[in-house]
Amino acid sequence: MPIVAGRSATVVTWSAPVIVAVTAVHYYRGAIGRRRGGAMPDYELDTTQRNGVLRIHARGRAVLANPMTNRGTAFTAEQREALEIGGLLPTGVTSMGNQVRRVYEQYKSARTPFAKHSYLANLRDRNEVLFYRLFSDHIEEMMPIVYTPTIGEVIERFSVEYNRPRGVFLSIDRPEAIERSLLEYGLDPEDVDLVVATDSEGILGIGDQGIGGVQIAIGKLSVYTAAAGIHPRRAIPVVLDTGTDNLGLLNSPFYLGEQHARVRGPRYDEFIRTFVEVTSRVFPHAMLHWEDLGTGNAFRILEAYRHDYCTFNDDIQGTAAVVQAAILAGIDVAGHPLSDHRVVSFGAGSAGIGIATLLRDHMVDSGMSAAEAQSRFFAIGLQGLYVEDMDDLLDFQRPFARSRAEVTEWGCVPGRRITLLDVVRQVKPTILIGTSTAGGAFTREVVEEMHRYCERPIIMPLSNPTARAEATPADLIEWTDGAALVATGSPFDPVDHREVRHYIAQANNALIFPGIGLGVAACRAERVTDSMISAAARALASHANAYRPGASLLPSIDELRPVSAQVALAVARAAEDEGVARRPLTDPINDVYQRMWTPRYPPVEIV
């Protein structure tokens, strides 16, 4: 039986599969009851079960020091006596429900978002089950604290606020240590469903944050657990420390990463190749989730490995899938098939091109020719509309560049940047997507021009944070007299217009990536294919009820758990259809459901 085992002692290796032992300094793996070096594990837990039995070997303070065995005042009197902790706790025994209420009041007393995040991180380090119960019960309220936007400040302050480490730190200066470092996390091959890795170059619109990017991987995994039930001890956060070009960090005496400029070129590529190959060999069933790589590397790395390894880039594929879901819901309301639409992507970096690529492929799957589908997309960057003879286009952007002959026919002055307004006037788009971080770029003139030719324009200012959004929903709805179908990257309050309350869809990747990870884990997919991503988008779109006037194009964050289950089911079925599922589902709904861990104190067996 797979188990989790951990203790603050020396490394002891057991022979059978282990599930996890993350928080302990030393770990025990293998057959239950077997010893090495005279030591016993703190605990054993089968993390493949929804609520397996927790077998506790530890006694005394060690029980309370481990966040997977500690349940504090919820231990019964009998358990306290057997575990030798009766004198270490107040006399009163309380329920988990009362514990949740108590910690929620403490959470609310924190005055700033950063302080709230710090409180939750400390709670996770004391009592992991209670942390996830609190987060799950208040997921819509706490998502901006656990993840974006507060995680940005947490990342920036990582080296200054450093406390208890979580994750694996891999340095480009020590590539030979990659395998040893991954194994030091305490997991065996059968025990890992996810590895979330970042090199921290493109963090959340705030750029290069060096080693502090480990916090984005930790935050992402917290969402995987709360939203999709990925067991917290079946996932590993990794930061790839390739240096930093952030001079503020390099000149700080507190910075904890490698003290040199970011390494690029062949040495970087070799480091990434070694990391991918070692991770795939050590954890052969894990999905490698790339997060916040720089624009110059994100597409390139995804394309290099996605056909041979189980790998996924949330900034490209996850963003594309959630936006596609909102667009599919929007075109149902607008009443025209996707093949009738023209799409302008403003801010065509990795996210913008990822969205365009997935939509284009969906058009092709719906029966359009590849050339006709490609002709419906117009990509705009800082230098204006992408045109084929531009020198600074990246390889992944070139397929979306327009011909010089085409824009010459528009009457554009040679050498002048072709602006968003120019494109809107010439193209008459029906869908406008913003991933530029250029706040206010969707001006009233642009929006009203678009609305002149499109009765129900689909407009998506997706840039974060709120100050960088290309437009506000209130302005978009006012400028189109309530006709715009809107989704945003940041959360916005509902907008009242002409006696209709418009609920604003947040195109939050959390609606997609947890379900993809769960689906891949449930069927042990060999790869993450385009069909699996499209299946996830369609499953998400099916949850929207956008026909009621003012309804959101996407489900709300408080529906994450059922949404993730439905997405996972669609992903696993698509994997089976493509022949990449190594463990096909025999009872699909139950197979997915049973993989979703719930944050409840499990039954205890005191060994």
Is 220 noted as a catalytic residue in this protein?
yes
* Cβ neighbours, 10 Å, residue 127: 25
What is the Cα–Cα distance from 394 to 302, expressed in whole angstroms? 14
Q: Which of 27, 185, 220, 386 is catalytic?
A: 220
Q: Which residues of 320-352 are buried (b: 16+ CB within 10 A; e: fewer)?
A: bbbbbbbbbbbbbbbeeebeebbbbbbbbbbbb
Is 116 noted as a catalytic residue in this protein?
no
Q: Which run of H or E residues covers position 236?
A: strand 235-241
For residue 267, what are the contacts with CB-CB under 8 A and spacing of at least 6?
172
Whether 36 and 20 have beta carbons less than 8 Å apart is answered as no
What is the Cα–Cα distance from 539 to 555, expressed in whole angstroms? 11
Q: Which residue type sits at 158? A: F
What is the Cα–Cα distance from 177 to 462, expressed in whole angstroms? 39
**Cis preceding-peptide flag for 562 (omega within 30 of 0):** no
Nearest by Cα to 278 from 177, 367, 410, 369: 177
Q: Which run of H or E residues covers position 140?
A: helix 139-146
Rounded to 10°, the helix 295-305/350-365 angle is 40
Helix, strand, or coil (residue 228): helix
List C-alpha distances in Å: 12 to 23, 187, 463. Answer: 15, 13, 48
Rounded to 10°, the helix 295-305/266-282 angle is 50
For residue 20, what are the contacts with CB-CB under 8 A and spacing of at least 6?
4, 6, 45, 47, 186, 187, 191, 231, 233, 234
Whether 433 and 378 have beta carbons less than 8 Å apart is answered as no
Q: Which of 28, 107, 147, 255 is catalytic?
A: 147
Nearest by Cα to 197 from 135, 152, 242: 242
Number of H helices, E strands in the chain: 23, 17
What is the Cα–Cα distance from 171 to 260, expressed in whole angstroms? 12
Residues with catalytic annotation? 147, 220
